[in-house]
Structures are given as structure tokens and as C-alpha cells.
Chains A and B, each alone.
Chain A
Amino acid sequence: MPDDLSPRGPETVALSLTVNGTSHSLHIPVWTTLLDLLREGLGLTGSKKGCDHGQCGACTVILDGKRVNSCLVLAASRDGSEVRTVEGLASPDGALHPLQEAFIKHDAFQCGYCTPGQLCSGVALLEEGHTRTEEEIREWMSGNLCRCGAYPNILAAILEVARKEGRA
């Protein structure tokens, strides 16, 4: 039996976080992941939990400009950070991000569960400049699993936006 586990709760810690442009001052248990904080704490359920082990990419968010698996980030370790989730991709007036538009046009999803992660990865990928060729996009998107098998359509969507923006 594991003797090192004891029946007591975790410490809490103060944290300030800007999520999709809104700043939050929070007190959270130290064991809270960024994903669980977003979903259960802030009610931003767009980011999805697919594995909780950084294996599927469904929880991908853009953290200080970089895409990360939010299930692997302890929220307490990112005090003062800026987070962009799928809910923050469209403009405040509701106009969709070009990649969101392209996903709809190219039918780049079926069940939609991996879609928030695919979109956040794709948006960050465009900004990182890793969309020069089809092969490059496939390689750099391979951390985002899609069980429905929408891969060819996701590729088409990212490629279209990359070409329009002169990034392909």
C-alpha cells in the first residue's frame, strides 16, 4: 500500500490569470491543472479533456503565445500568464477567426470534440510559421489526435488560411 499518501487536502494558492482578455484573481488548490481550472473553475468548457496525459491534444490552448497541452500545466505555476482558448479565437463581435471559417468550409471536424484543440494548435502553428508545406503541417499537427479521421480536411483548412496569409 502506498504509505506516502495521506488523507489531507491540498494547499491553496493565489493566482492571477488573463483568459481571452479577461483578468481573473483566483485562489486555487495547488493540484489544479490549467485545463481543470478553465473548465470547472471558469466555466470555459470549450477546451476538452481527452486523456489528461498530454497524449491527445484536445486540451490545447495558447499560453503566452505558445500552444500547450493544458492538462499538463499546473495552473499555479503560470501566475501572471495570458491564456487564449477556443472561446477567444473569434472577435468579440462574433466574427469567426479565418481558421474557424475554414474548418466549417472544409468540414474539418465530425464529432467536434478534438476541434478546439485542433483550432488552437492550427492558429498557433500559423503564427509560428510551421505551415509552409503539407508535410510540415501534418508533422506539426500530429500532437492533435482526431478519432473521426478528419485529418485531410483539417489539413485543407489550415493550408487554405496559410496560403491566404502568405504563410504557405
Chain B
Amino acid sequence: MMHHPLIGTPQDRVDGRAKVTGAARYVADFETGAEVLHAHVLNSAIATGRIRRIDTSRALAVPGVVEVFTHENRPRTAWFSSAYKDDVGPPGKPLRPLYDASIAYSGEPVALVVAESYETARYAANLIEVEYEAKPHETDLLKQLPNSYVPKKRRSGINPPPRPKGSAASALENAPVKHVARYLIAAEHHNPMETHATTVIREADGKLLIHDKIQGAYATKHYVCSVFGLSEDAVRVVSPFIGGAFGSGLRPHYQLFLAVMAAMALERSVKLVLTRDQQFTIAHRPETWNEIALGAKPDGTLSAIRHKAVGSTSRYEDYQEAVVNWTNLLYSAPDVELEYELVQLDIETPSDMRAPGAPLGAFAAESAMDELAEKLGVDPLALRLHNDTQIDEVMNKYHTSKELRAACQLGAERFGWRHRPLAPRSMRQGRELIGWGLAFGAWEAQMQKHAARVMLDAEGHCTVGVATADLGTGTYTILAQIAAEALGLSMNKVTVLLGDSALPQAPVSGGSWTAASAGSAVHDACARLKAELLLAAQTRNDSPLVGAKLEEVMFDRERIVLMRDPMRAVSLQAAFAAGGRPRIVADGQAGPDQLTQLRYSSHTHSAVFVEARVDEELGQVRVTRVVSAVAAGRILNPKTARSQVVGGVVWGIGMALHEEAMPDHNLGRWMNHNIAEYHIPVHADIHEIDVIFAEEKDLLTSPLGVKGLGEIGIVGTAAAVANAVWHATGRRVRELPMTIDKVLGLTPARTEAR
């Protein structure tokens, strides 16, 4: 008799039916009808300065308006900025909405209208008169490059660049082959399809039930309790479905503060949904400048790497991410200098956005490797493999596993890389030039401390609870698979509960750590539950399992079976009857293993192969074929895993060709704050995307052997598109996105203009 495996098999999403019937409830779907008040935010029209006068009288006169909050009548909240710190924020002083008359960026909230209907609140907000005293602002990263600085306080969880190794300067001077260039990536906005929103339900006893767009319920709960001085039991956060977040929901945003403030002050339930315009005032991927220098021997062996990146941040927080470390993680060199600095601008604090930092550094490094290959006259894949390393030279540790070479081989074969002509402009079909490019990518495989609870009853109904969120990543489904397989149940007997602060504590879902961490916690809870259930099954002296140890039995088809003699088995029902309890509840834990972390470094890796077709006259680029070959440990569910990587690839194509938050430096604000003018890929932009998972056994990374897949799909993709565009056209574009003007060579490079 074989145990029926679920882990590793393609499974439909368990929340699929809810999502295709409209039954899945997102933040704004809670509490409709007349009981709830609707709130609308008015945002600052200036980038920096102060409010001289704010007149809300005309807004208050609109029938149906309940209250207008400004800094002048804001209810008292926490005094110190430290109370506004969230679970993952960077060093600095977090935004305190409506705190005083000062303005830190264009789009900072200056007033909140609360009314009986959404339309009324929105209309009344237009009637508020604000007089500003504007001060000079600065929003231009390139202009401020001379003022870049190393952040004084490092951000928790982000590794700063390591100390220099050897002397990159002299090694570069002596290198027979050299490549030096600058690369720039535009600021991007997350733009999840669901805008940020909070629905606060004020219950009869004054307690708050909060539905918030957040990547983990506890992040919202901690923030609200801290800012408003509420006790833990006065706040419950329930967000079962999140309409995408991609990092924008890691930190609580101003709509949470404002909605809770209004609900408490007015003693009513309040719903606050940001508009798409306002979505551009809360978080973004920072515009990032890179300068990279590679030195090599004539045989292609790298002798030196110098990679410096400067990212933008706000005036009030030092947002940091890992941009440059990846270059030396992927490629070995004796002399290495990596630097990462910040420039302060009058903008909102940037935020983690899908694979924060990695695709920015990878765009620079992987474009530079291609340019070096061109100078050496070698195949860019061969150059990469020649300099590949099995050691993490940044942290000076061995990898827990690294099957990048295997992934690369599978990907190259599927793509047909060996048929690629070395010279650019070698392939053409009709009016389109065809180019093939590739890039490598890497992302951290992490474990975060998670708790989980699993409950099983005599009918075999199992409930799994973890407080973290499913952002569309498939967490509901993989946790159901893990529990069902561990307990020998079919998938439809398992109910997974997520996104509720009443469930065992878990951090925000991000950094690709949720599958490994939440999955391991559920696995641990199931192991404990099985031990208890076996004990229950052995209560009676005549139990067929008498004397059996946990490792000697398996849980299969709602029975506990002795492996060496499958005829000896106890059904779940009999076990529960014998134990005398209607249900068994078990708590599990998972977290990073510190000894492993000391010794090893753990990453996912990928090799991305891209075919781009470029209309020679119009400069229009189409990415017609992508093969993303990924080594990411054990794959729990090939169906949702593939979707994760496909999504990352789509993001990479967007970064390469479309996405650009355009600042107006005169006004100090984003100009294209809507999704007609901030372009993201649409159906017509996306063609064939093939995903391959290389086999990778790795029990050091996590107990389940899982590494995580949320980020790796995007990392190398933009660079691979740029390399394919070069191969098609012979033109190297070093600034993203590669819009038509750049592909046609009509726009001078901004990094060279100064």
C-alpha cells in the first residue's frame, strides 16, 4: 500500500471557487450598506512646506458629511514617532498622518472627510480650501547624486554591502579587458489591482474589527495598538483575501491610521478606500542609479568587480534594500568593491517591491556581463558559467544548495540557446529584428518565525490556522496540501484559515519566506497532532497499534496504519472514540535554524532566456518567448509555483519595457499617477512563458526543503530582455524602461548627460 502524495503534485487552488464566483471578500467588500460611514482623503498639493490655512466649512455644509478631520482637530494620538513604528519599517521617523501643518511630500494626506456615502465624501473633499506655504523641494535623484551618503543606521533584515576585498581599483587598472558603465532604473509603483483600503467595524462594546490591506494581520494589529494606545484584546484584524500587494502591504499605510482614527472619534464603522491616484502616494520602488566596473583576463576570468548603487529615499526615513551584493554572490572575483548609498528627496518613503533591490542590481550586473562577453567575443552564457561560484563570496559561506548550472542547462536546451548566433543583428523576420538574451538571478531563501495551529475532529475535518496572508501566492493551497498529506486526508477535508490576528502569530508574508516558514510550522503542528492521535488510538489495550511508535505508522485515508503490517490499522473515528475527545488541537512552530545560518547561505537561483522582436523602424519591442529555469528547492505545488514564476516574469517584462513613475520636478510629484499612463503589461504584451524547475534537494534551508518562489521570477528578467534587445538591434539600452525612444537611440542616456 502506497501513501498517496499531495506535496509535489499540481493542485487547483482551494480558494479557486470563491475567487471565480465573486464570493472571496477583500477589504472593501466588508460592511456594505447604510451602517458604515465612508471616508475620503484630501492630499497635499505641494511637495514640501506647510499648511498656512485650511478651511473645511464648505465641506462640512454638504448634507451627509459627518466630520472633516485635519491637523487642527485631529483627536489625540501617540505623541512620539516611535509609537508609529511598524514591524518592517526602515530607520527614521514614520509618517504621522495629520500630525501637524508640515508637509513632507506631494500627496501626504491633509484632510479626511467622513460622510454617509462615498460619493458625498469624495465631493465634499473638493470643497476644502487649503492655503500652503511652499518651500523649495528636490525630487531629482541624478541631480542629488553628489550628496549621496551611507545610511547611518542599517535597516533590520537587509545586509549592507560587505567590506571590500583586495583592491578593485588597482585590479581594474591592470585588467586586460574592462567594462565600465552606468545603469539606471526608473521608480516603479506596485499598483496591485486592489488599492489600499481599510474597513473598521466598531462593535457594540467599542472593540474594533479591522479589515486592512496588509500582508500580515499582526502588522496592522501591532501598529493600531501602539498608535492608539489600545489593549491587545480591543483589536482584531481579519483580512482573508488581499488583492495583490507585492510589498506595498508590508507596512501599514495612512489609510489605516485615518480610518481607525475616524471610527474611534465618531464611534461608527468607517470604510476608507484609496483611489488609484492615491495609490501613488504611499509606496514605490526607488529610482536607482548603478555604476559597475568589471575587469577580466583574456580568457574571461573576472579579476575585479566594482558595483556602486545609489537609491532614493524620503527625508524622514532611510529606506534600504540589497542592490549590489548579488553581483558577487553570482560571480567570483578576487578584488571586489560593493557600495550602496542613499539620496534624500522630498518624496514618500520608498518600499519593498517584488524582489526589492535584486532586479535593479541584476539589471546592471547582468547587462554588464553581456557587454563584457561582447568585448571578449564569447558566448554570454559561457562567460557566466566560467565565473559561476559554488561559494557565497559575499558572506563567505557555502550554499545549502545551488543547482543553477542544472537549471541553466535545462533552460538553454528548452530555449535552443546553442542555435544563437554570436553577433547582434543576425536574425530577422519581416520588419522585425530578433534577438536572444539571457541573465541569471538569485534571491534569498529565508525562514521566519511562524506559529500554526491544526485541529482535527473524528469525521476527519481538519482546520489549519496561520495569521499570515495569502496575497495570491497560493498559501491557502500549499498549506492544505501539507496538512492533508501529513494527516492522510483528502484536500477537501482541510480548511485553511489565514489573515486573522486571532490565529497563531506569524509575520507579514513577504521575501518569499511564507511557503517555507508557514509550511514548516503547519508540518510541525501536524506532527504533534499525529503523536497525540496515535496515543489516543493506543488507549485501548486491544488496539492493533499497541506499542507502535510514530515513525512506524502512517496516516492514510483517514486511518492510522502500521507500516510493516498494513492490516493493523485504526480509523480516525475509532482513535477519537478511544481517546474520548471530540477533537485534537496541536500548535506548531518553525523558525530559522541559527547554526545552519552561521554556516550556510541559502538562495534560489534562476537562468532566464528571452527572445525579443524589435520593429526596426518603430522601435517597438515584443517579448515573444521566455524560458525561466529556476532552482528553488522542493516545489510543493507545480501549478501554483509555475504561476508565481510566470507572474514574476511578467513583472520583469514590465520593468524592462513599460513601468516608469515619471516625476515632474517642478511640482515635485509623480505625473502619471493612474494606470492608463503608468503602463503595466497587458494581455497583448505577454506571449509564451515557459517555466522549468530544476531538481534541488535541500533540507538545510527549511524542514520541508522549500526555498520560496515569490521573487525569483522577476530578478533576471529585465536584464535578459535588455540583452535580447541588444542582440536584436546592436543597441545597448542602459536605462529602464526601454521605451521606443531609447530603443531607437533618440534619447541621450540620462546617466551620461551630467
Q: Which A residues are within 8 Å of any B CB, using their own CB?
A: 1-2, 5, 7-10, 29, 31-32, 36, 39-40, 43-53, 55-56, 58, 85-87, 89-90, 96, 100, 103-105, 107, 109-116, 119, 137-139, 141-155
Contacts and interface: CB of A to CB of B under 8 A. Distances in A.
- Name, among A7, A137, A153, the residue most crowded by chain B CB atoms within 10 Å (CB to CB): A7
Given A107-B13, A111-B471, A138-B683, 20 more contacts: A9-B120, A36-B119, A39-B29, A39-B32, A43-B32, A46-B22, A53-B676, A85-B22, A86-B21, A100-B20, A104-B16, A110-B472, A110-B643, A111-B243, A111-B244, A112-B241, A112-B472, A144-B683, A151-B681, A154-B683
B20 A104 contact: yes
Interface stretch (B61-69, B100-108, B286-294, B510-518): B61-69
A26 to B, nearest CB: 14
- Name, among B12, B21, B117, B676, the residue most crowded by chain A CB atoms within 10 Å (CB to CB): B21
Nearest to B30: A45
Given A104-B12, A110-B244, A111-B194, A153 B643 contact: yes
A112 B13 CA distance: 11
A1 B54 CA distance: 13
Interface string B50-63: 00000000110111
B195 interface: yes
Contact of A31 (B18, B119, B684): B119
A1 B242 contact: no
A112 B12 CA distance: 14
| Interface residue SS majority, chain A | loop
A48 B191 CA distance: 15
Given A36-B119, A48-B243, A90-B21, A113 B681 contact: no
Nearest to A114: B193
B684 A138 contact: yes
Interface string B545-566: 0000000000000000000000
Interface stretch (B157-165, B447-455, B647-655): B647-655
A47 B195 contact: no
Interface string B127-148: 1010000000000000000000
B397 interface: no
B156 interface: no
A82 to B, nearest CB: 18
Given A2-B126, A7-B58, A9-B120, A110 B647 contact: yes
A5 B683 CA distance: 40
B683 A137 contact: yes
A44 B28 CA distance: 12
Nearest to B120: A9
Interface in B11-34: 12-13, 15-26, 28-29, 32-33
A149 B675 contact: no
For the complex of A and B, 7 pairs with smallest distance between CB atoms: A46-B22, A149-B650, A111-B472, A113-B243, A112-B19, A110-B472, A149-B647
26 contacts: A31-B123, A40-B32, A51-B675, A55-B675, A86-B20, A86-B21, A96-B20, A107-B639, A110-B474, A110-B643, A112-B18, A112-B24, A113-B26, A113-B192, A114-B193, A138-B684, A142-B684, A144-B683, A145-B193, A146-B193, A147-B192, A147-B193, A148-B647, A149-B650, A150-B646, A153-B643
B680 interface: yes
Nearest to A94: B21
B218 interface: no
Contacts of B246: 147
A44 B120 contact: no
Contacts of A9: 62-64, 120
Contacts of A51: 276, 674-675
Contact of A113 (B18, B194, B640): B194
- Size band of the interface chain B makes with A: 35 or more
Given A8-B62, A105-B12, A113 B244 contact: yes
Given A46-B21, A53-B676, A5 B192 contact: no
Contacts of A58: 193
Nearest to A135: B684
Contacts of A141: 683
A154 B471 CA distance: 18
Contacts of A146: 193
A115 B684 CA distance: 17
B244 A107 contact: no
A145 B15 contact: no
A102 to B, nearest CB: 9
Contacts of A100: 20-21
A8 B59 CA distance: 10
B567 interface: no
Interface in B632-651: 639-640, 642-644, 646-651
Contacts of A143: 682
A10 B117 CA distance: 12
B273 interface: yes
Contacts of B639: 107
B79 to A, nearest CB: 34
Given A10-B119, A110-B643, A49 B28 contact: yes
B21 A53 contact: no
B473 interface: yes
B316 interface: no
A114 to B, nearest CB: 5
A150 B126 contact: no
A48 B28 CA distance: 9
B174 interface: no
Given A49-B273, A111-B472, A149-B651, A8 B19 contact: no
Nearest to A9: B63
Given A5-B127, A51-B675, A148 B63 contact: no
A45 B32 contact: yes
B324 interface: no
B689 interface: yes
A53 B126 CA distance: 18
B686 interface: yes
A97 B340 CA distance: 53
A109 B24 CA distance: 13
- Name, among A40, A116, A150, the residue most crowded by chain B CB atoms within 10 Å (CB to CB): A40
A85 B20 CA distance: 11
A113 B680 CA distance: 16
B675 A145 contact: yes
B39 interface: no
Given A9-B62, A111-B243, A113-B192, A152 B646 contact: yes
B118 interface: yes
A98 B649 CA distance: 28
A45 B30 CA distance: 9
Contact of B26 (A2, A48, A145): A48
B126 to A, nearest CB: 6
- Name, among A90, A146, A154, the residue most crowded by chain B CB atoms within 10 Å (CB to CB): A146
Given A49-B273, A107-B12, A1 B22 contact: no
Nearest to B242: A111
B124 interface: yes
A115 B718 CA distance: 26
A116 B22 contact: yes
Contacts of B651: 149
Interface string B465-490: 00000011110000000000000000
A111 B61 CA distance: 40
Interface in B613-672: 639-640, 642-644, 646-651
A147 B21 contact: no
A29 B244 contact: no
A148 B472 contact: yes
Nearest to A99: B20
Nearest to A119: B20
B596 interface: no
Nearest to B18: A112
B688 interface: yes
B81 interface: no
B193 A107 contact: no
